């Protein structure tokens, strides 16, 4: 658990982060979203002390992060950034081994960890371990960046616009991979983005920042249904908030008993996807099936639409 308490950072007369307090739950993805200049990156960088706060403190599992040398703290915290920042003079395996190496792990342990991570990120170790960053595609570089950040089994992974440099299709895949990695390694992830879609897609909880202040910090559906102020409502998208809400619920969660003569949809599909499918086919209801194809019940357009309303 990360407790951020009254963090403030000023550069000259500008307050970049203004008295922000929040609690980040263990084993979850928290997304900090805001426009550029909102202070979201600075807030993130105060967690691993790449930026030293003016006042306030950060506690990780109850321990004040200010009480140990910054570079030792950072070895316990994964860090992945936009444009990956891979070391161009080191191979993929050496890049991933950076922190374990700094921590003085046994070579055999480092090797097996590197192999495990490459496999987890769908990069064949036999092919990629010896390659250099410039020989990889953008998506592969990004994955190696994530692997490197996870190498020393950090309790916390900080990500600063990690998918910002990727094209939409690869970004989609990278986001799926991240959700998968979070489940697999049970890491606490704090991710900064300016992309509200990305925030809603990834975040168990989303923090909205503007001009250094934390406007609202809650589950995505609460942000949509009960925005704290007009700024949050505008940022989370006034015009399509109903669709965003539908995107947050899966067919499996909304399914009601009964059968339909409509098409079958996967229980993992979002209500938004199911609705689109129904519009496209010109039918009123669908059968929800689980991963094995067994029927779970049905969804009608009326049921779906009800989920897109605030109450």
Partner 1 sequence: MRIAAGVLRCAALTLLAAFLLRPQSFAPLFAPLTQYGAPPIYDQGNLLALALAHVGTVLVATAASAVVAVALGILVTREQGAEFLPISRAIVNIGQTFPPVAVLALAVPLVGFGEKPTLIALFAYGLLPIFENTMVGLRSCPAAVLEAASGMGMSPRERLFRVEVPLAMPLILEGIRLSTVINVGTATLGSTVAAKGLGEVIIAGLLSNNAAFVLQGGLATGLMAMLLYDAIAMIERRVCRTVRVT
CB 30 → partner 1: shortest distance, Å?
Answer: 18
Among residues 114 and 265, whose Cβ is nearest to partner 1?
A: 114
Q: 3-state class of 59 per DSSP?
A: strand
Among residues 132 and 185, whose Cβ is nearest to partner 1?
A: 132
Rule CB under 8 A: choose which of 79, 128, 163, 217 binds partner 1.
Answer: 79
CB 160 → partner 1: shortest distance, Å?
Answer: 9
Residues between 124 and 153 that touch partner 1 (CB under 8 A): 132-134, 145, 148
Reading across the β-sheet that carries 156-160, which strands appear in turn? 77-81, 156-160, 188-193, 29-34, 205-210, 213-218
Rule CB under 8 A: choose which of 6, 63, 71, 184 binds partner 1.
Answer: 71
151: left (phi over 0), alpha (psi -120 to 50) or beta: alpha
Q: Is residue 42 a contact residue for partner 1 (CB under 8 A)?
A: no
139: left (phi over 0), alpha (psi -120 to 50) or beta: alpha
Q: Is residue 113 a contact residue for partner 1 (CB under 8 A)?
A: no
Residue 143 token pair: 């994955």
Rule CB under 8 A: choose which of 9, 40, 74, 307 binds partner 1.
Answer: 74
Among residues 76 and 173, whose Cβ is nearest to partner 1?
A: 76
Q: Is residue 105 a contact residue for partner 1 (CB under 8 A)?
A: no
Q: Which of 164, 56, 203, 146 is nearest to 216 (CA)?
A: 203
Q: Is residue 83 a contact residue for partner 1 (CB under 8 A)?
A: yes
CB 159 → partner 1: shortest distance, Å?
Answer: 11
Q: Which of 19, 43, 9 is nearest to 158 (CA)?
A: 43
CB 299 → partner 1: shortest distance, Å?
Answer: 45
Residue showing tokens 């009960």: 226
Q: What is the rounded distance in angstroms from the CA atom of residue 91 to the CA atom of residue 88? A: 8
Q: What is the rounded distance in angstroms from the CA atom of residue 3 to the CA atom of residue 23? A: 5
153: left (phi over 0), alpha (psi -120 to 50) or beta: left
Q: Is residue 73 a contact residue for partner 1 (CB under 8 A)?
A: yes
Give the pairing of strands 156-160 and 55-60.
unpaired
Q: What is the pattern of x (binds partner 1, CB under 8 A) and - over residues 85-104?
A: xxxxxx-------xx--x--
Residue 271 token pair: 């209500």
Q: What is the pattern of x (binds partner 1, CB under 8 A) and - over residues 226-265?
A: ----------------------------------------
Q: Is residue 48 a contact residue for partner 1 (CB under 8 A)?
A: yes
Q: Is residue 222 a contact residue for partner 1 (CB under 8 A)?
A: no
Residue ranges binding partner 1 (CB under 8 A): 48, 50, 71-77, 79, 81-90, 98-99, 102, 132-134, 145, 148, 158
């Amino acid at each position: 658990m990360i407790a951020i308490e009254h963090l403030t950072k000023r550069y000259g007369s500008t307050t970049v982060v203004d008295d922000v307090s929040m609690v980040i739950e263990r084993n979850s993805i928290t997304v900090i979203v805001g426009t550029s200049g909102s202070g979201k990156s600075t807030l993130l960088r105060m967690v691993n002390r790449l930026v030293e706060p003016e006042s306030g403190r950060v506690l990780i599992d109850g321990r004040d992060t200010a009480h140990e040398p910054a570079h030792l703290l950072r070895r316990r915290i994964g860090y992945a950034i936009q444009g990956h920042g891979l070391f161009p003079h080191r191979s993929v395996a050496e890049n991933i081994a950076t922190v374990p190496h700094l921590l003085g792990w046994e070579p055999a342990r480092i090797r097996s960890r590197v192999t495990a991570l490459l496999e987890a990120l769908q990069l064949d170790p036999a092919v990629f371990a010896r390659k250099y960053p410039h020989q990889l595609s953008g998506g592969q570089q990004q994955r190696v960046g994530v692997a490197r950040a996870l190498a020393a089994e950090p309790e916390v992974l900080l990500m600063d616009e990690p998918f910002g440099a990727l094209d939409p299709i690869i970004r989609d895949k990278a986001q799926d991979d991240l959700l998968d990695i979070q489940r697999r390694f049970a890491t606490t992830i704090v991710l900064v983005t300016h992309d509200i879609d990305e925030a809603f897609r990834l975040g168990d909880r989303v923090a909205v920042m503007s001009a250094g202040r934390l406007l609202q910090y809650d589950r995505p559906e609460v942000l949509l249904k009960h925005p704290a102020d007009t700024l949050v409502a505008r940022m989370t998208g006034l015009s399509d908030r109903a669709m965003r809400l539908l995107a947050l619920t899966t067919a499996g969660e909304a399914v009601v008993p009964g059968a339909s003569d409509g098409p079958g949809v996967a229980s993992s599909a979002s209500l938004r996807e199911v609705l689109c499918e129904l519009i496209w086919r010109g039918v009123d209801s669908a059968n929800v099936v689980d991963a094995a194809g067994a029927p779970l019940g049905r969804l009608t357009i009326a049921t779906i639409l009800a989920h897109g309303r605030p109450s």
